[in-house]
Amino acid sequence: MLKVAYFPGCSLSSTAKEYDISTRLVCEDLEIDLVEIPDWICCGATTAHITSELTAAALPAKSLVWAEKQGLNITSPCSACFSRLKMAHLHIEKDPKLKKEVEEVIGEKYNGKTEVMHLTRILIEQYGIENIKAKIKKELKGLKIACYYGCLMTRPAEVCVNDRVENPMLMDNLVKALGAEPVKWYYKTECCGAGFSLTKTEIARKLSGDILKEAKDCGADLVMVACPLCHSNLDARQPEIAKLIKTELNIPVLYFTQVLGLALGYNSMDLMLNKHFINPKPLLKAKGIL
């Protein structure tokens, strides 16, 4: 049985609760043992890494060390958490001085034995696409999905192991396996503007709008994401964006775990589909999935 250390992170404990629930649900279904890191602490996203390199490395290091001690790889569905964990791991590995400082701060040794993998990679590379296919209860036939990766899952290039930075395919392959059709589009890694979502909302609106419009233009029924921040920009802001660009958008934004959950036969309540601003149920009903 595949066993991975699980770092949910703050978003998944609050605004993106549905991501956490669906993640745990599908992993249980697929018999992937997610071992939640006891007393996990903040990954330090954004605030730490723009202020102190040491804090940015030391915060995730705590979790890394725990996983290493258990002999487990570590995963987080949240792209920001994943990015911080991965970058901390890489920085500590590359910089002996930083390593020493980090070890001093956390009072433990880190040997770099644990690998940080995004949940999509765990599913596709470690669990295996064929194994997922075998578990599918309901093929998502006729559903056109735009896979939106965002920035943190794929950048910088070092974190994007076994995938193309400029045209990632991990989620597209998953979608294909589930019987749905991944749309060919070029906005997979465009910026959603999350960095400005609180300070200069108009930028976030503009950028997220571009993404949603492009998805729509390319014929997508829904957008699939792997990041709570992307989700909040694309989903929660969608009504205002639609108003702003004077276009009917109404394109549901789902976490990839939710999409996977649908294929595994779970219902809307199981996957907390009701938590989205853009209600996906009409679409899914129309496609005969719900």
Partner 1 sequence: MARIGVFVCHCGTNISGVVDVSRVAKYAESLPGVKVAVDYKFMCSDPGQNTIIDAIKTHNLDRIVVSACSPRMHELTFRNTLERAGLNPYMVEMANIREHVSWVHSDNKELATEKAMKLMEMSVSKVRRSEVLTKMFAPIEKRALVIGGGIAGIQAALDIAAAGYKVVLVEKESSIGGRMAQLDKTFPTLDCSACILTPKMVAVSQDKNITLLTYAEVTEVSGFIGQFEVKIKKKAKSVNSKCIGCGVCVTKCPNKKSLSDFDGRLGPRKAIYTLFPQAVPNVPVIDRETCTFFLTGKCKICEKVCPTSAVDYTQQDELITEKFGAVVVATGFDIYDHSSYGEYGYGEIKDVISSLQFERLISSSGPTEGHVVRPSDQKEVKNVVFIQCVGSRDESKKRPYCSRVCCMYTAKQAMLLKDHYPETQSYVFYIDIRAAGKNYEEFVQRAQNDYGVVYLRGRVSKIYERGNKLLVKGADTLSGAQVEIEADLVVLANGLEPRKGAKEFSQLFHMSSDQYGFYNELHPKLAPVETAISGVFVAGCCQSPKDIPDTVAMASATAAKVCAIFAKEKMEVEPLIAGVNQLTCSGCETCYNVCPYSAIEMKDKEVKRGEVRHVAEVLESVCKGCGVCVGACYSKAVDLKGFSERQILSQVETATMPITNS
Contacts with partner 1 by CB under 8 A lie at 157, 164-167, 186
CA distance linking residue 290 with residue 29, whole number of Å? 19
Q: How far is the CB of 43 from partner 1 (least distance, A)?
A: 27
What is the distance between the alpha carbons of residues 233 and 237, in angstroms, rounded to a whole number?
Answer: 5
**Which CB, 167 or 279, lies closer to partner 1?**
167
Give the rounded distance of the alpha carbon of 155 from its chain centre.
13
Considering the complex, what minimum distance in angstroms separates the CB of residue 164 from partner 1?
A: 6
Which CB sits closer to partner 1, 14 or 247?
247
How many C-beta neighbours within 10 Å does residue 137 have?
10
Distance in Å, CB of 142 to partner 1, minimum: 24
Q: Please, what is the Cα angle at 122 between 223 and 289, to 5 degrees?
A: 40
CB of 187 to partner 1, least distance (A): 9
CB 104 within 8 A of CB 92: no
Question: How far is residue 264's CA from residue 139's CA, in Å, rounded to a whole number?
Answer: 8
Q: Between 157 and 244, whose beta carbon lies closer to partner 1?
A: 157
Nearer to partner 1 by C-beta: 164 or 285? 164
Collapsing DSSP states into helix, strand and coil, what is residue 206? helix
Question: What CA–CA distance (Å, rounded) separates 267 from 288?
Answer: 12
Q: Which is nearer to partner 1, 66 or 187 (CB)?
A: 187
CB of 203 to partner 1, least distance (A): 13
